């Protein structure tokens, strides 16, 4: 974590857009010496920021590294609550555990835990999630919507729609959603969402929205067993994307759609979700813990269940399953 003075310094360097900011003014404001400010500047340079200095005028930002840190994300951030507190790490086992602990310790709605690398990334159904350093977006958002716990799974669908919108906007690529939480491009997985819950019997305390987005990997960055089924935005678009910009866009749509959902219910989200769904009208196989069923996907119900029409014509609502198309 950055010290508050260093974060403030970075924020002002970004806000000044290449113009110099006075080291003396910041030193005075925080009751520090100019040497202390200079040390923070040196630390930022060690982290990859290129900073110039002009005699009598101060420090100015020349270039920032492609990191998903607070400074780079904040530069693009337009939200009110989501991402206004960011806990950034270079490497962690998994951002989910940190977010769970923070939520238990009272972290505020919209707190984001994000890392350049995860060494023990968690997928759904206790599967591992490959999280190569500096290539993808590995983040867990703590949200505190006023909801009964049975509605929490719908937030996965809200998140899927928000991520698709953000990818369209930032990368100009059209992904599709595979129920409930996979985002695909050309049939390969580009994003996974893991929704976890902290709850009282009748009210959600916090939802931890874990999102893994394959952004700038090349094919060889994926382990062999994933190469046929996973892809990245860079592979699909043929150029690198600005991860910090994508994070900010995801947070923007997440805040917008979560607020819409809390205010108006699932109906408007359902319309958006179905417009992006990859499976409507297709014959699919849904594997659950104790059984596997096959049928035609009709869409999702008013509360987010997958509706399958079975061979005998009956319609079966599916709450959670692995889907094969």
The H-or-E segment that residue 207 falls in is strand 204-213
User: Residue 169 Cβ, how far from ligand BTN at the closest point, in Å?
Assistant: 21
Angstrom distance (rounded) from CA 100 to CA 207: 9
Q: What are phi and psi of 2, to 5 degrees?
A: -75, 150
3-state secondary structure of 75: helix
Q: Which C-beta is closer to ligand BTN: that of 44 or that of 306?
A: 306
Residue 181 or 258 with smaller CB distance to ligand BTN: 181
Cα angle 49-190-297, degrees, rounded to a multiple of 5: 155
Q: Of 250, 258, 209, whose CA–CA distance to 100 is shortest?
A: 209
d(CA 265, CA 283) in angstroms, rounded, equals 29
- Of the two residues 96 and 154, which places its CB atom closer to ligand BTN in the complex? 96
C-beta of residue 207 within 8 angstroms of C-beta of residue 143: yes
Is 154 annotated for ligand binding? Answer: no
Q: What is the CA radius of gyration of the chain?
A: 22
CB of 24 to ligand BTN, least distance (A): 41
For residues 210 and 304, which CB has a smaller minimum distance to ligand BTN in the complex?
210
Query: Residue 134 region, left (φ>0) first, then alpha (ψ -120 to 50), else beta?
Result: left
We find the least distance from the C-beta atom of residue 270 to ligand BTN, in angstroms, to be 21
CA angle at 268 for the pair 266 and 274, rounded to the nearest 5°: 90
**Identity of the residue, 41 or 163, whose beta carbon is nearer to ligand BTN in the bound complex:** 163
Residue 87 assigned ligand-binding role = no
Instruction: Kindly tell me which of 190 and 308 has the beta carbon lying closer to ligand BTN.
Output: 190
**Least distance in angstroms from the C-beta of 286 to ligand BTN:** 16
Q: Is 302 exposed, middle or buried (0-12, 13-18, 19+ CB in 10 A)?
A: exposed
Nearest-approach distance from CB 117 to ligand BTN, in angstroms = 11
Question: Where is 83: in which H helix or E strand?
Answer: none
**C-beta of 310: minimal distance to ligand BTN in Å?**
26
Question: CA-to-CA distance for 162 and 168, rounded, in angstroms?
Answer: 10
Query: Is it true that the peptide bond before 72 is cis, omega within 30 degrees of 0?
Result: no
Name the DSSP class of 33: -
**Cβ 161 to ligand BTN, closest distance in Å?**
16
Identity of the residue, 137 or 308, whose beta carbon is nearer to ligand BTN in the bound complex: 137
Contact at 8 Å (CB) between 119 and 91? yes
Q: CA 140, CA 113: separation in Å to the nearest integer?
A: 5
The residues that touch ligand BTN, with contacts defined as CB under 6 A, are 94-96, 118, 121-124, 127, 129, 131, 138-140, 181-182, 192-194, 210-212
Q: Based on CB atoms, which residue is closest to ligand BTN, 6 or 234?
A: 234
Residues of each annotated binding site: 118, 189
Residues of each annotated binding site for biotin: 118, 189
């Amino acid at each position: 974590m950055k010290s508050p003075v260093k974060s403030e310094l970075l924020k002002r360097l970004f806000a000044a857009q290449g113009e110099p900011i006075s080291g003396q003014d910041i030193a005075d404001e925080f009751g520090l010496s100019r040497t202390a400010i200079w040390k923070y500047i040196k630390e930022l340079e060690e982290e990859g920021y290129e900073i110039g200095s002009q005699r009598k005028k101060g420090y100015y930002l020349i270039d920032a590294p492609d990191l998903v840190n607070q400074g780079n994300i904040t530069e693009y951030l337009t939200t009110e609550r989501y991402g206004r507190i960011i806990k950034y790490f270079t490497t962690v086992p998994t951002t989910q555990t940190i977010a769970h602990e923070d939520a238990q310790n009272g972290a505020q709605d919209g707190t984001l835990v994000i890392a350049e690398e995860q060494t023990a990334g968690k997928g759904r159904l206790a599967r591992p999630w490959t999280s190569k350093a500096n290539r993808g977006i590995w983040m867990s958002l703590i949200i505190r919507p006023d909801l009964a716990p049975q509605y929490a799974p719908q937030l996965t669908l809200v998140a899927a729609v928000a991520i698709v919108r953000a990818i369209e906007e930032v990368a100009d690529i059209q992904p599709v959603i595979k129920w409930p939480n996979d985002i695909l491009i050309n049939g390969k997985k580009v994003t996974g969402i893991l929704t976890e819950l902290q709850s009282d019997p009748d009210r959600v305390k916090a939802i931890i929205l874990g999102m893994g987005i394959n952004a700038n990997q090349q094919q060889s960055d994926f382990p062999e067993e994933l190469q046929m089924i996973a892809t990245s935005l860079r592979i699909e678009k043929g150029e690198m994307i600005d991860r910090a910009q994508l994070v900010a866009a995801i947070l923007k749509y997440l805040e917008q759609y979560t607020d819409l959902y809390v205010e108006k219910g699932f109906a408007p989200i359902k319309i958006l979700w179905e417009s992006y769904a990859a499976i409507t009208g297709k014959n699919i196989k849904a594997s659950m813990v104790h059984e596997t069923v096959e049928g035609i996907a009709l869409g999702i119900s008013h509360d987010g269940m997958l509706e399958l029409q079975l061979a005998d014509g009956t319609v079966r609502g599916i709450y959670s399953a692995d889907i094969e198309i």
